[in-house]
Chain A
Amino acid sequence: MSHDIHKYAFFLGCIAPNRYPGIEAAAIRTGKKLDIELVPLKGASCCPAPGAFGSIDLNVWYAMAARNLILAEQMNMDIALICNGCYKSIWEVNHKLKHNDELRDSVNEVLKEVDMEYKGTSNVYHLAELYYNDEVCGLNKLRDSVTTPLSGVKVACHYGCHLLKPAKDREFAGGAIGDSEHPMWFEELVDALGAEAVEYRNKMQCCGAGGGVRGYDIAHSLDITNEKLTNMTAAGADAIADTCPFCQLQFDRGQFEIGQKFGVEWHVPVLHYCEMLGLAQGMSPVELGLDLHQTSCKPFLDKLKGGQ
Chain B
Amino acid sequence: MTSAKAYKDAALAARLSDRVYRPAEDSDPSFTAEVEKIGGTAAHLCFQCGTCTGSCPSAPRSSYRIRTFMRRANLGMKDVCLNDPDLWLCTTCYTCSDRCPRDLIPTDVIMAMRNMAAKQGIVPKNFLATVNFIYNTGHGVPNNDANRVARVKLGLEPEPETTCKYPEFLPAIRKILEAYGTKQLADKVLSEGQ
Interface flag for B105 (CB, 8 Å): yes
Contacts of A204 in B (CB 8 A): 95
Interface flag for B180 (CB, 8 Å): yes
Q: Which of A50, A113, A165 has the most CB of B within 10 A?
A: A165
Contact B124 A212 (CB under 8 A): yes
Contact A166 B94 (CB under 8 A): yes
Interface flag for B166 (CB, 8 Å): yes
Interface flag for B190 (CB, 8 Å): no
Cα distance A98–B143 in the bound complex, in angstroms: 32
Interface flag for B175 (CB, 8 Å): yes
Interface flag for A54 (CB, 8 Å): yes
Task: Specify which of B142, B156, B162, B182 is in contact with A57 (CB 8 Å cutoff).
Answer: B182
Contacts of B154 in A (CB 8 A): 21-22, 25, 287-289
Contact B162 A161 (CB under 8 A): no
Task: Specify which of B115, B151, B161 is in contact with A40 (CB 8 Å cutoff).
Answer: B161
Nearest residue, chain A, Cβ from B170: A45
Q: Scan residues 57-76 of chain A and give those whose CB is less than 8 A from a CB of chain B.
A: 57-60, 63-64, 67
Contact B123 A55 (CB under 8 A): yes
Contact B180 A63 (CB under 8 A): yes
Cα distance A101–B131 in the bound complex, in angstroms: 27
Contact A213 B176 (CB under 8 A): no
Task: Specify which of B93, B111, B150 is in contact with A161 (CB 8 Å cutoff).
Answer: B93
Task: Specify which of B97, B128, B175 is in contact with A113 (CB 8 Å cutoff).
Answer: B175
B99-115 interface bits toward A, Cβ cutoff 8 Å, 1 = contact, 0 = none: 00001010100011011
Cα distance A288–B38 in the bound complex, in angstroms: 42
Contact A211 B128 (CB under 8 A): no
Q: Which of A40, A51, A210 has the most CB of B within 10 A?
A: A51
Contacts of A59 in B (CB 8 A): 180
Known: A18-B142, A57-B180, A216-B126. A210 touches B98 (CB 8 A): no
Q: Which of B143, B154, B177 has the most CB of A within 10 A?
A: B154
Contact A166 B97 (CB under 8 A): yes
Interface flag for B91 (CB, 8 Å): yes
A114-B176, A215-B129 known, 14 other contacts, Cβ within 8 Å: A18-B143, A25-B154, A43-B163, A45-B138, A46-B138, A48-B140, A51-B92, A52-B131, A64-B177, A168-B98, A204-B95, A206-B93, A224-B91, A288-B154
Chain B interface residues toward A at CB < 8 A:
38, 57-58, 61-62, 88-95, 97-98, 103, 105, 107, 111-112, 114-115, 118-119, 123-124, 126-131, 133-134, 138-144, 147, 150-151, 153-156, 160-166, 168-169, 171-173, 175-177, 179-182, 185
Q: Can you offer 22 A-B residue contacts whose CB atoms are under 8 A?
A: A14-B142, A19-B147, A42-B161, A43-B163, A45-B138, A48-B130, A51-B91, A55-B127, A56-B115, A58-B115, A60-B180, A63-B179, A63-B180, A67-B172, A162-B92, A166-B97, A166-B107, A210-B92, A211-B91, A213-B88, A213-B89, A213-B90
6 tightest A-B CB contacts, nearest first: A215-B126, A43-B169, A165-B94, A17-B160, A40-B161, A211-B92
